């Protein structure tokens, strides 16, 4: 994610695990010059505010839940998109990854002297953490 689009005013690289690449490769593709990957308007406009995308996600998730449960009244509990970040950090802690790695995965800014002196990009550590997290998620959803 380029610094212009990232809250921390620095580039943020997120290595994708093979499971995430598989999801990406199965996503719809859009025509046009530089289409937006996440779009509710055929790639022409980026998702804005996430409300439309979340509505579509909720609808699809509820349909899947009802099918799997065999219950037409089953409904997901209320959640926020931010809950995915909270869950990721919590599961990475459960999987044994330290705070520095978790902060690097989530793009949290370093504080104090760490911001000045620690220039390590944590690329290998982020990759290992996200591969372990992907394996954990796949165990849960299988």
Per residue in 4-63, pLDDT (tens digit) is: 777 666 778 889 999 999 988 998 888 878 788 877 788 888 877 778 778 888 999 999
Q: State the pLDDT at residue 38.
A: 77
Q: State the pLDDT at residue 37.
A: 80
Whether the predicted pLDDT of 106 surpasses 80: yes
Report the C-alpha gap between 106 and 26 in whole angstroms.
24
Token pair of 52, please?
């439309």
Q: State the pLDDT at residue 73.
A: 94
Report the C-alpha gap between 94 and 84 in whole angstroms.
15
Token pair of 68, please?
């799997």
Q: Pick from 48, 13, 14: which is nearest to 130 by CA?
A: 14
The verdict on pTM exceeding 0.95 is no
């Amino acid at each position: 994610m380029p610094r212009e689009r990232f809250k921390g005013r620095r580039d943020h690289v997120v290595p994708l695990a093979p499971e995430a690449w598989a999801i990406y490769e199965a996503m719809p593709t859009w025509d046009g010059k530089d289409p937006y990957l996440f779009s509710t308007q055929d790639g022409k406009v980026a998702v804005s505010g996430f409300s439309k995308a979340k509505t579509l996600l909720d609808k699809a998730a509820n349909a899947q839940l009802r099918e799997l449960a065999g219950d037409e009244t089953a409904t997901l509990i209320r959640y926020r998109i931010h809950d995915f970040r909270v869950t990721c950090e919590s599961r990475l802690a459960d999987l044994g990854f330290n705070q520095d790695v978790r902060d690097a995965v989530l793009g949290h800014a370093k504080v104090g002297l760490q911001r000045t002196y620690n220039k390590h990009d944590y690329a290998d550590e982020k990759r290992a953490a996200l591969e372990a997290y992907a394996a954990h998620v796949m165990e849960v959803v299988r």
